Amino acid sequence: MKYIFLFVIIILTSMNLKSQEVDVFAGAVERYPMMHSEYLDSRNVDVWLPEGYDSARKEGYAVLYMHDGQNLFDTKFGYGGMTWGVDEVMTVLQRLNKIEPTIVVGVWNTPNRWREYMPQKPFGSLSYSLKARLRSEQNGAPVSDAYLKFLTKELKPFVDKKYNTLPGKENTFIMGSSMGGLISWYAACEYPDVFGAAGCVSTHWPGAVPEGPDEIPQAFFNYLDKNMEPANKQRVYFDFGTETLDAFYEPLQKRADSVMRRNGFEEGKNWTTRKFAGHKHDEASWNKRLHEPLLFLLGKE
């Protein structure tokens, strides 16, 4: 009976390990399950190594940090069975010699996604009543400052030590969609010496419900106006679609664009905003246009 029990344990363990394997088009993913943090809840972290990754490569590798890590590579983990197909798009661009080989770090979200991705300092500037309402709706106040400490003070040092990276800001990038777009520009503002560029896809400027109070996006724009790095030190990519949730974004994005111009950013040079007609607020749409932010962030030209 003891041997049967041990056999069952071995089978279940092997099945669990198999379920954690990440299938990719090219390259390889190394998963760090439930990575511990002193700042907030543990979560999975996936590190995608590009095709031909060489730990002794003289040039080293740039690193792109991405939010919602479970939605990046393998459909069995992705939201609704969809992913960005990051491994495919990155590999094609690399084979075409459009980008340098780059490591992608996929940081999984948690049930506290809104709290971790909502820019904390702009939230602090909201009226007392609105903050109270949002705290009630989201089961607490934002903890995005703690999330960024996890990224910059724990995860990045781990990645730089474990892998053959180029650790400087000129080779360290951050990107996400929706609320992940918010936390990406917030990260670039809060840690300008860490992140040289941010990719903000379908940025959820309303911050909560699409037709909520204008006080929330205005708090974002006020913060950006005061905290955006000088235009010659960082690059920022924005985009939006025209369908589903993205249909609410264009007027708000135009206000963000005004902030960028007012701070000396030149469209097509160190900042760009792209509109994608017919694109929805989902992984399938982000996959279709993923090459655009990747070329802006990582492109050789």
- Domain extent, residue 186, equals 22-298
Q: Which ranges of 118-176 does DSSP label H, i.e. alpha helix?
A: 120-124, 128-137, 144-149, 156-162
Average pLDDT over residues 27-54: 98
Q: Provide φ and ψ at 258, rounded to 5°.
A: -65, -40
- Residue 261 domain-assigned (yes or no): yes
- Residue 246 domain-assigned (yes or no): yes
CATH at 266: 3.40.50.1820
pLDDT of residue 1: 52
- Residue 38 domain-assigned (yes or no): yes
> pTM for this one?
0.93
> 15 pLDDT exceeds 80?
no
Q: pLDDT tens, 230-277?
A: 888 999 999 999 999 999 999 999 999 999 999 999 999 999 999 999
pLDDT of residue 121: 98
- Residue 9 domain-assigned (yes or no): no
- Residue 128 domain-assigned (yes or no): yes
Q: pLDDT tens, 110-153?
A: 999 999 999 999 999 999 999 999 999 999 999 999 999 999 99
- Residue 139 domain-assigned (yes or no): yes
Which is higher by pLDDT, 31 or 15?
Answer: 31
d(Cα 191, Cα 187) in Å, to the nearest integer?
Answer: 6
pLDDT of residue 4: 46
In the chain, the number of structural domains is: 1
Average pLDDT over residues 2-25: 53
- Residue 16 domain-assigned (yes or no): no
- Residue 135 domain-assigned (yes or no): yes
Give ∠ CA 36-298-239 in degrees, rounded to 5.
85
